[in-house]
Structure 1
């Protein structure tokens, strides 16, 4: 659509700014002539209001109030082509327009409003024609991406290629990214500002939104973004149906494992297919009073987007076979109930007994309730304070295994990953305080910690990752080790 600045640039219209030049980027959706004293009652958001000034009040304070009401109606701009007997515009009116960044334009009385309106309307019609063409291309691109059988992220990247926007699906309550295209990933990696991003809710979901940020093009078409939201809603609906099917089949498998009619070895490939490629455990969730758990849709939760655990509700508990990710399992607890805790078994192997592992998990969750802890791992010895290696050589091996990739990266790339982790942990995960001490932008710290996770496999913001990194840093400090000497 045409902007106010673009209208001013049309020589034949003879428009000039009286005030509000900072609002020149406003888009004009339609144009209306109105000489009534209350034009805000007759126009809509985005309209260009054209007047001869006949409806303007005479005094400065009245004109200021009149302008406030017009701006509040969300119109795009005001064009005044004053007739000879119209009240003159006062400094009070212009001051309000400047303060609120609202364009007020002057034109000669001989300006034919129909010519100005035609320019606006032709632009709006052309904009709608282009939007329809773009929507058609988006559906074609998305259909082709679906047939290519790529990932959800691949399809988001295909949509980015058509719109030029960096696209992400986010959880509105937590800000967590469910899926993003490659343009959005590059923006995150370069700590690009988000002040120009636009979000729209995704239809059919309670908590998800589609976020578009400038990529190759600015985000200026909100209706088009809403169309994209509807398109992505179809994909999410399909994914939810697939997750429901996996939940049902996973329950059947877990029942078979618990009654020992199925062996772990038989379902091992299925567990890998469900995204459980690392260490796998039996987890048991419950509240101290064995109260109800909100588990009916937990398999759809954002935290489980990469995994489809086997889940079974039984006797006030939720039992599952899931990845041994303490942060993930704790996140699930928080969604199930405010007082929910989780107990975790020893790691499963293809020869394990799920019955025994489930017993371990149930004992562990009982222990968690006794200690008033949100999570407990079976076999933890809470009374043993010797959690650090006992010898210098053991410490050296542990530190090299844990921090070696970071130390090597810092030496060869002149980066500060080890220092960034140390400061982040010392501030108990406070992002802004850590960034301030390091003298960097908060988003730069986010990028560095993501790089730490890529190099070590440990997520500094998770319970397990922060614990391992803290142990390595503390062990090195207590053993007085020179980190640079641990790697070549």
Structure 2
């Protein structure tokens, strides 16, 4: 129970605060009557003192010194019955209380102290019971999240739910692993936590968390995180040997109490168990054949929250763009023991190259091939040069993202690998069209799917297909094409630009127009 809450109880609701009004959030742990000399010797932290004023110093330095000693002992406040022995607190006591942050309260003499202690102690015991029940609830829910082992998202949801606060869980690398958003107005918004980890690192907040085993409160500067300088409560996630990440809570108002802070710490412990468990699973997957990358590119990935979390911990980001680069060794299948060793050499070169670029190595190996998911920002030509793989060949997919994108990349590379030549790097986008011209049915299907799939996915797809056919038939003569489909030439120019955008073809070049014309011929023939 806080002092503010105590003052709302009958009969303390008739009291008057004369000093320390900004410190009424102090916790009241007990209420006692003290009317004897040297009362500070009987005071403990959180005590609310009741005095008739019989032994209270009336004036001078003694009155100020007593207040200072009580504040130093951690008293929650002093209640003085007036005006029987004293009219009011001495001015020296009031001034000292304002300096020390101790609440001084006056109640009418007619209110018996027995009534105050009875109602206050009853409320203290009741609030302790409520606190124990809440603590038990939090402990049980977080423990259930740990036992279930479903993932960090469950931990964030449980913690955010019991605290009614926005929660985010980060890895030490700054990757957001889980979050919980509270939409209600008045609490710290989720946007407040965006960029929180970087800002905390810049001002020493992460170091402070690393140095503590308990949750800490950090008050950022307004310009760093939000228009209002709301505080962050954070706790480091750690195992016995290393830091694994951080739990961050946007505190808002009212401030979190001691039980809430312990809940953040408990969530950090549960998160450590989850991350350690997921790392063990990820390591096991790697030992069993780099299952993550293999499942992604083979279309076997189980897109569940737990699987996605393990993928993120391994370094894969479902929102990032990747190319699949596959090295085809100049080795017959099945591999010899020397072939296996050479395959491991290539995989290690890929790992070192990715480390140079500061990105996780996402690798799988199968037979005489080494597959790597390469971030779109990393030039595959540079990677090929780093490998110095001799007569091996490399096939590279187009850029994709997400689970479906990785599956598509796998299909592209699988199709491309049948046509690669030793000692060269081959891009899927470059290899398809020559095969289309050569009459390869598989390449023609891929070409049409990519071209008219992109056109058809646009909300004006039917109009764009009609326009593409007219342009191809009229040799890209805009006047004749616009007349053929009965639209204004300005509308045709708009559609032409839209076709270039959705197909990726440079329709202002001979090559781009030729590819669209060929695609239209194949498309119309397929319809017939």
**Larger-Rg structure:** 2
TM-score range, shorter chain: 0.3 to 0.5
> TM (normalized to structure 1)?
0.47
